[in-house]
Structure 1
Amino acid sequence: MEGRGRRRRFPSPTIFWPIILAWMRMPTRQNSQQPTMPKRRREGKTGLRRWRHIAAIGAAAFVWGLGLARFIAEAAFCAPLYSAVAPVVGLAALCSLLLIEGGACSRFLPVLSTSTATFASFWIPLLFPTPYVMGLFSQVFPMAGGVLLAGGLALTTLTALDAGRRRHHHQTPRPPQPSQNERRLAGISWAPMACLILTTLALYLSTLLPSLGTLDTFEFQVVVPRLGVAHPTGYPLYVLLGKLFTFLPVGDVAWRVNFSSAVFATGAAVILYLILRRLTTSWAGIDGLRWLPALAAALALACSFTFWSQAIVAEVYALHNLLVALILWLLLALPQDLGPFALTPARRWQATFFLLGLSLTNHLTTALLVPAAALALLWDRPRLRVVDWAKALGLGILGFSLYLFVWLRWPAVNQGAWMTPSAFLTYITGGQFHGALRFDGWRDPTRWEIVARLLRQPFGWAGLALAALGLLGLALRRRRALALTGVTFLAFGLYGLLYYVPDISVFLLPAHLILALWIGVGIALAAEFLSRRHGMGAAVVLAALLPLRLIWTNYAALDQSREQGRIAWGRYVLDLPLAPGSTILADIDKFAPLYYLQQIEGLRPDLDLLLFHQESSYHAALAERLAGGQTVYLARYLPNLGGLPMRSMGPLVEVGAAGVGQAGEPMARFGGRIALLGVNLTADPFGRRMHHLTLRWLAEEPVADDLLVRVRLLDAGGVARWASDGVRPVGGLYPSNAWPASNAADGGQAGETYPIDDYHAVEPPLWLPTGTYRVEVGLFPRFDDVGLGVDGGDEVWFSIGSVTVTQPEETPALAHWRRCAFSADDAASGWLTGYDLASETSAGVPYTVDLAWRRRTATENLQIVWVNERANERGMVSRSARFSLESDVVRSRHTITAPQTSGNYALYVEVAGELVRSRWLARPEALCPLASVQVLPARRGLANFANLILLLDAEIELPTAQLGAVLPVSLQWQALRAIDADYTVFVHLVGPDGRLWGQEDVWPVQGSYPTGQWRGTEKIHDPHRVFIEPTAPPGAYQVHVGWYLLETMQRLPVLDQDGSAVGDTFVIGAFQVIE
């Protein structure tokens, strides 16, 4: 079925390959020893060569035009260019004519034509979109097409500009002895550098976080504008430079600080480009394109995953890599270098010492460059005067003295208290992090796996192969550069092995920079070989492929341009009637917007906002504030509150305040014991796609059950379209079995009640269609679908009002892209733009398919079709029930049943009365192919978490453990579908008394591999080391594992064979604790 859509009705671009190959096989130069050719014959040969070049340009431009037509069709949903051949061919022909007749060709062709190899570099890039045109990607991916189109056109333009520069150079009379400045500037091609700057800035600005971030990013967005002191080591250089960006007249303060990282990252890429120009210009062997390896490697670094991620948020690592690149640029310089900005040995070493000292005030890992600097000194043995060495040492101390900023600014941000010298030294050396540095880490095989993965991640195996080739090139021609870069790479790699922190990837960024440098040298060496034996075209393709692939691979994954942080949440909270002078105890996720709005925008300065690292600190602060009569709100999950009364104040939880008053007539009673006294349901005042719901409960009798509050939405036909998973009341902190019953509390008086305000954020999923929905609530026991009856009846849901749901203007793309154009009676009826589903499932169980739509104009019925792919049973079809597909829908979710027979199946979509073109220029068909799904006879693994993550295997490595010891636990996971959030895995040790006596809550693989980065069905080995508390009782212990989302504290449910939730933790085994 799927194959029929691949037939196209237009001539394939491959018809141009015979012309191109014939052109490439013709002689490229005349032998100088042959007799001189008659003038008329030479003119004929020249004319023939000119027409051959024009034909090659025209053919390549035609292919480029085909790519442009497909890109417009799929990115802009242009039906004529998607389904009709004539407009496609017309646009491609127009592109061909414009390039031939537009003037650029006629201007630069004389220079380009002097060398067939150089001329190939002009038109070969226009063929970059060929894989996109021919549909060679595994899925429809307009981003890849756009990148190939832009990259090809940019390289062609750069080649033309370079040809024009060389033409002017050859035609302009030169003085017999060029000046020193001219010699310095001779090796620079400014157009490629400008292209690098514009490209990186455009990519960073289009993906830049526009608002408040989290963790360190949020801290810098607050500290930098106030010239405060950041967490140890203080980072004074970043704070002072970032302050300059806060004066920009665009964006808010948070955006400006984020933008500083984009500028610093761009600068690091430019310095790498200059280093590679100096290393490879004299031996690249690429006629006229000596800038190409440097441009490709610098752009590859700029577009690598971790480097890019740090260029779009307020963080110190972009500036750190800029300084590392500058220091390497100085260390790698030779006395005989006449490149731009060349320095004398004395000035070079003075600048090096100054930058080393200055860079230490931004990040202490600059110290890892000291071995390279020492090696350069031993290698060069510069003969400098004592005064020159004194100046160098003084400049280094001067740069390092910027740390005095921390000491001088400390009183201004700490109520006038000065730092003691010991505290200052501990602060600027990061004393609190020293425990994470384990000098035996190199013995840990997991650390080797982590570092190896993080070094392979930015450039892939192809990049590592080019880096190995670059090492060979440096060993043959630049041994000093090999030694200095090698020492630097080993230093940062070893640091990655020894430093146990979750975000170790950012500490390896200088090693990524060294890899990019080696890649640039490798590209130059490979290009030299290829250009001599296979023409310039192969070298151009090799150089361009790596950075272009990184752009389309990482762009969508790193794009934060739509993230608004939690600013709206913070504004909503600070608009609530919070008690004056009250305290909010928050986690880092919720502390960030509150503190930013208070410190930067001046909202609610009377509130005391507190953030701690330990639960014990929160408990101590809570007890102290309550004892002092202060109102305390929680903006975080805090267990073991000892039965303190609580109530919701919006999304906050007020602790220690029990409402007492007279109760009116209840709206409803659940289970005859719990009364619903009132409801407040309002739309979000900041335009978010959500509603705020506050329920007022009253326990008329003691409640023994631990109940969950569930909310659901019903359409006009009374059909339940969405239901929440259910949460404990009052933000999960006040379970129903802890509620005081009316008139039952100590000292309670007759007629007194103890109502409980319970807040819920009602956030309908994106796949819920536009419309008005009735809102109902219910109380349910955990992991049970049978709720408490309402008013003594069998109905378990109670209607509390209605809400209007609208579709957002833009929605994030689903994991898999598609472009399927549906039509009815030859009129367009909408596009299927993406899907998300699990790649495998068990026979006969519920199976969820998410679909993304665009421009739906009609309401029709939709079916999901399973087609068996086994050869002897191909064509066996099972169809799902019919689903209504509304007009203007942007997302739809369909829960179907997997086939009862195991095997490999192809999944299709069918819309009643409509045909579909499932590929560009494909013939219309009835079925739209989605993906292949493997149906297994029985579920694999030990536990299924929400059909997202499968626990494949688990091992408790010690049968017995002593009090205060560490228990090694090994887990193996597998993603069942794309995961768009970073979940936290927990390993809990539950003792014989049912209490928790040890836990580790962290992202997988020691925090280094968050679930949002998992690829496909990759198996993840995840080791844990859980500390057993010394005060734990001896006896039999169980090990519980599970997942939760830190932002909401919601756990992923464990599903049984039928897809029903049976719990939120899984017991992997038991062990004994002995004294």
Structure 2
Amino acid sequence: LLKLQPDISWANYGGDGGELIAATVTLGLPHPPGYPTYVWLGKLFSLLPLLPIARLFHLFSALLAAASAATVTATMGNGNMRTALLAGLLVATAPLVWGQAVIAEVYTLNLLVVSLWLYWWWRRPQASGWLGFWAGLSLTTHLTSLLLVPLTFWRVPRAQWGRLGGAILLGLTPYLTVPWLGRPGSLISWGEPQTISGFASLISGRLYQHQVLALPPAEWLLRLGAWWPILLAHGILLGWFLLPWVWRQTPPENRPPILALSLAGLAYLGYAFLYDSADAIVFALPAIPLLSIPLTTVWQRWPRAAWMLPLLAVTLNFSYPPIKGQSVEPNNLRAVTVPILDKLPADTLVTTPGDPTIFTLWYFQLAEKQRPDLIIVDQNLFGFDWYRARLQRHYPELRGLGVNDWPAFLAANETERAVCAIALASDQPLFCPNLSDVAP
């Protein structure tokens, strides 16, 4: 808790945080697949009186991560209590988990639901109703949970598959609220979730499917080099290199579930590695609890050495700059953004070059209600028909929204109002070509 990011931040691949907070407090619909479970739970949590609201959501992430570690502890709690505590501590102190626990993101909620699924999968697979429910709910927190569906059916006798399928559908019910969250009046919404095709497109994450398993082979070595410090840290802490030894030491009757969890964890790692996005490493987060179960049984053979692992993890966390409380550039988003917003003329048309700038501005305007008079339009989103249609409904005074022609749109509106471009990651974050009295 002492290491929470104190304010809105892009640290630890947290550029989506501003959009998630703004969409949640306004009950809107964030980027695909919409994350309805996060929105509803986050909305309840946002009612607590803590400011700035960004820090409140960082606290939300921290509590979810702590609950995940507690759930993993309970999963191993039917055996040696030291082993159970070790499993939970290894999850809680893993650098990748801690990095997501101090910012506003969806990944710690997904981690918690996956950990709950793991509890029922490992300890009570005969309770197919609960197992199916958590499997379905996990899909509403992140689509990578599709990797768990085969394991869910494999663990349950075929005679119970009907009940299991019904429970999975029950867990998916938060998706039924997506059309309402994306209603025409929503201040943040993606796609056209009121139509069948739009709904299917959004919850399937079609917008990002071109990035799945799409990392060019020429970049594999570059990614491995960039990820190596984090992979090495987690490999040392969880002992993933001991998987073959785990297999040999496991009684034959326990080998199938051990192998299944190991393969699922490695599948998460492979999916993350081949996903063509700079923040793809966070997709590997669920691999940590999945692999902690089989590997904790190894470390209990060396109890004194095992208890050094959480201490080593904490040391690694405090040596990792973003987790020490430092943010990525810009170093202080509030110090950069608020003065820019304050100097803009009334009713300015503000253009942005894509996320995370648009997400940060949504946070200040919608979550903190700063400068509600500004009209914020994103150049990347402008290419989507649904986005221009939504702009037309919210701002009927805007011109040039009928077609995807960005220069024509700017030209059509610059005679009616000031037009300024904000790019928070740029050396010149503010550019107002027709306003000489607004300094960059």
- Shorter-chain TM-score bucket reads 0.7 to 0.9
Question: Higher strand proportion, which one?
Answer: 1
Aligned to 1:247: 47
CA distance in 1, matches of 2:220, 2:341: 48
| 1:625 has 2:410 as partner | yes
CA distance in 2, matches of 1:442, 1:492: 18
CA distance in 2, matches of 1:400, 1:462: 32
Q: Give the counterpart of 2:373 among 594, 606, 611.
A: 606
Aligned to 1:320: 110
After superposition, the Cα gap between the structure-2 partners of 1:269 and 1:461, relative to the gap in structure 1 and judged at 3 Å, is closer
**3-state DSSP of counterpart to 1:605:** coil
Q: Write out aligned runs for 1:582-661 (5 A).
A: 582-587=348-353, 588-613=355-380, 620-621=405-406, 623-628=408-413, 629=415, 630-636=417-423, 652-657=430-435
**3-state DSSP of counterpart to 2:2:** helix
CA distance in 2, matches of 1:600, 1:758: 26
Aligned to 1:352: 131
Structure 1 residues without counterparts, runs of 5 or longer: 1-204, 282-289, 336-344, 528-538, 640-649, 660-756, 760-1075
Higher relative contact order (CA 8 A, sep 6+): 2
Deviation at 1:229, TM superposition (A): 0.3
After superposition, the Cα gap between the structure-2 partners of 1:609 and 1:399, relative to the gap in structure 1 and judged at 3 Å, is same
CA distance in 2, matches of 1:462, 1:328: 17
Q: Give the counterpart of 1:396 among 151, 164, 168.
A: 168
Aligned to 2:82: 292
The answer (yes or no) to whether the contact 2:351–2:419 under 8 Å persists in 1 is yes
The answer (yes or no) to whether the contact 1:583–1:609 under 8 Å persists in 2 is yes
The answer (yes or no) to whether the contact 2:58–2:104 under 8 Å persists in 1 is yes
CA distance in 2, matches of 1:270, 1:459: 21
The answer (yes or no) to whether the contact 1:582–1:632 under 8 Å persists in 2 is yes
The answer (yes or no) to whether the contact 2:238–2:292 under 8 Å persists in 1 is no
The answer (yes or no) to whether the contact 2:351–2:420 under 8 Å persists in 1 is yes
| 1:413 has 2:186 as partner | yes
The answer (yes or no) to whether the contact 1:622–1:632 under 8 Å persists in 2 is no
Which range is displaced more, 249-258 or 585-594? Answer: 585-594
Paired residue type of 1:626: A
Paired residue type of 1:654: C
Q: Give the counterpart of 1:559 among 313, 318, 323.
A: 323
Deviation at 1:446, TM superposition (A): 3.4
Deviation at 1:575, TM superposition (A): 2.3
Question: Higher helix proportion, which one?
Answer: 2
Paired residue type of 2:100: Q
The answer (yes or no) to whether the contact 2:341–2:371 under 8 Å persists in 1 is yes
CA distance in 2, matches of 1:637, 1:218: 13
CA distance in 2, matches of 1:415, 1:499: 26
Q: Give the counterpart of 2:95 among 305, 308, 313.
A: 305
Deviation at 1:473, TM superposition (A): 3.3
After superposition, the Cα gap between the structure-2 partners of 1:473 and 1:314, relative to the gap in structure 1 and judged at 3 Å, is farther
For residues 720-767 of structure 1, the C-alpha deviation after alignment (integer angstroms, 9 at most, x for no partner) is xxxxxxxxxxxxxxxxxxxxxxxxxxxxxxxxxxxxx755xxxxxxxx
**3-state DSSP of counterpart to 2:102:** coil
| 1:494 has 2:290 as partner | no
**3-state DSSP of counterpart to 1:272:** helix
For residues 654-705 of structure 1, the C-alpha deviation after alignment (integer angstroms, 9 at most, x for no partner) is 113468xxxxxxxxxxxxxxxxxxxxxxxxxxxxxxxxxxxxxxxxxxxxxx
Query: Looking at CA atoms only, which structure, 1 or 2, has the larger radius of gyration?
Result: 1
Q: How many residues align?
A: 405
| 1:425 has 2:200 as partner | yes
Aligned to 2:146: 367
The answer (yes or no) to whether the contact 1:566–1:590 under 8 Å persists in 2 is no
The answer (yes or no) to whether the contact 1:229–1:410 under 8 Å persists in 2 is yes
CA distance in 1, matches of 2:77, 2:335: 47
CA distance in 2, matches of 1:415, 1:512: 33
Deviation at 1:545, TM superposition (A): 1.1
Aligned to 2:400: none
After superposition, the Cα gap between the structure-2 partners of 1:402 and 1:481, relative to the gap in structure 1 and judged at 3 Å, is same
Q: Write out aligned runs for 1:396-795 (5 A).
A: 396-411=168-183, 412-413=185-186, 419-438=194-213, 446=221, 449=224, 453=228, 455-460=231-236, 463-475=239-251, 478-524=254-300, 526-527=301-302, 539=303, 541-557=304-320, 558-559=322-323, 561=325, 565-576=332-343, 578-587=344-353, 588-613=355-380, 620-621=405-406, 623-628=408-413, 629=415, 630-636=417-423, 652-657=430-435, 759=440
Deviation at 1:626, TM superposition (A): 3.4
| 1:275 has 2:48 as partner | no
After superposition, the Cα gap between the structure-2 partners of 1:448 and 1:598, relative to the gap in structure 1 and judged at 3 Å, is closer
CA RMSD, Structure 1 to Structure 2 (Å): 3.3
CA distance in 2, matches of 1:611, 1:358: 32
The answer (yes or no) to whether the contact 2:29–2:186 under 8 Å persists in 1 is yes
Deviation at 1:514, TM superposition (A): 2.5
Aligned to 2:390: none
Deviation at 1:605, TM superposition (A): 1.3
CA distance in 1, matches of 2:186, 2:339: 27
Q: Write out aligned runs for 1:147-158 (5 A).
A: none
Deviation at 1:458, TM superposition (A): 1.7
Deviation at 1:560, TM superposition (A): 5.4
For residues 368-426 of structure 1, the C-alpha deviation after alignment (integer angstroms, 9 at most, x for no partner) is 0112123213xxx3655xxxx55443332122121121111212316997632111111
CA distance in 1, matches of 2:29, 2:118: 29
**3-state DSSP of counterpart to 2:123:** coil
Deviation at 1:638, TM superposition (A): 12
For residues 299-351 of structure 1, the C-alpha deviation after alignment (integer angstroms, 9 at most, x for no partner) is 1221111111111111111111111111122112257xxxxxxxxx3xx1011
For residues 57-99 of structure 1, the C-alpha deviation after alignment (integer angstroms, 9 at most, x for no partner) is xxxxxxxxxxxxxxxxxxxxxxxxxxxxxxxxxxxxxxxxxxx
Paired residue type of 1:554: N
Paired residue type of 1:301: V
The answer (yes or no) to whether the contact 1:209–1:313 under 8 Å persists in 2 is yes
Paired residue type of 2:434: G
The answer (yes or no) to whether the contact 2:382–2:406 under 8 Å persists in 1 is no
Deviation at 1:549, TM superposition (A): 0.8
CA distance in 1, matches of 2:348, 2:207: 30
The answer (yes or no) to whether the contact 1:439–1:498 under 8 Å persists in 2 is yes
After superposition, the Cα gap between the structure-2 partners of 1:591 and 1:382, relative to the gap in structure 1 and judged at 3 Å, is closer
Deviation at 1:475, TM superposition (A): 4.9
CA distance in 2, matches of 1:488, 1:307: 18
Deviation at 1:547, TM superposition (A): 1.0
**3-state DSSP of counterpart to 1:609:** strand
After superposition, the Cα gap between the structure-2 partners of 1:357 and 1:758, relative to the gap in structure 1 and judged at 3 Å, is closer
% identical equivalent positions = 26
**3-state DSSP of counterpart to 2:172:** helix
For residues 944-996 of structure 1, the C-alpha deviation after alignment (integer angstroms, 9 at most, x for no partner) is xxxxxxxxxxxxxxxxxxxxxxxxxxxxxxxxxxxxxxxxxxxxxxxxxxxxx
The answer (yes or no) to whether the contact 2:243–2:295 under 8 Å persists in 1 is yes
CA distance in 1, matches of 2:309, 2:273: 27
Aligned to 1:225: 25
Aligned to 1:720: none
Paired residue type of 1:229: L
Aligned to 2:399: none
Aligned to 1:236: 36
Paired residue type of 2:128: W
The answer (yes or no) to whether the contact 1:473–1:521 under 8 Å persists in 2 is no
CA distance in 1, matches of 2:94, 2:406: 43
After superposition, the Cα gap between the structure-2 partners of 1:638 and 1:486, relative to the gap in structure 1 and judged at 3 Å, is closer
Aligned to 2:65: 265
After superposition, the Cα gap between the structure-2 partners of 1:350 and 1:758, relative to the gap in structure 1 and judged at 3 Å, is closer
Q: Write out aligned runs for 1:885-924 (5 A).
A: none
Deviation at 1:612, TM superposition (A): 3.0
**3-state DSSP of counterpart to 1:552:** helix
Deviation at 1:449, TM superposition (A): 3.8
Aligned to 1:212: 8
The answer (yes or no) to whether the contact 1:222–1:596 under 8 Å persists in 2 is yes
**3-state DSSP of counterpart to 1:313:** coil
The answer (yes or no) to whether the contact 1:371–1:488 under 8 Å persists in 2 is no
Aligned to 2:391: none
Structure 2 residues without counterparts, runs of 5 or longer: 385-403
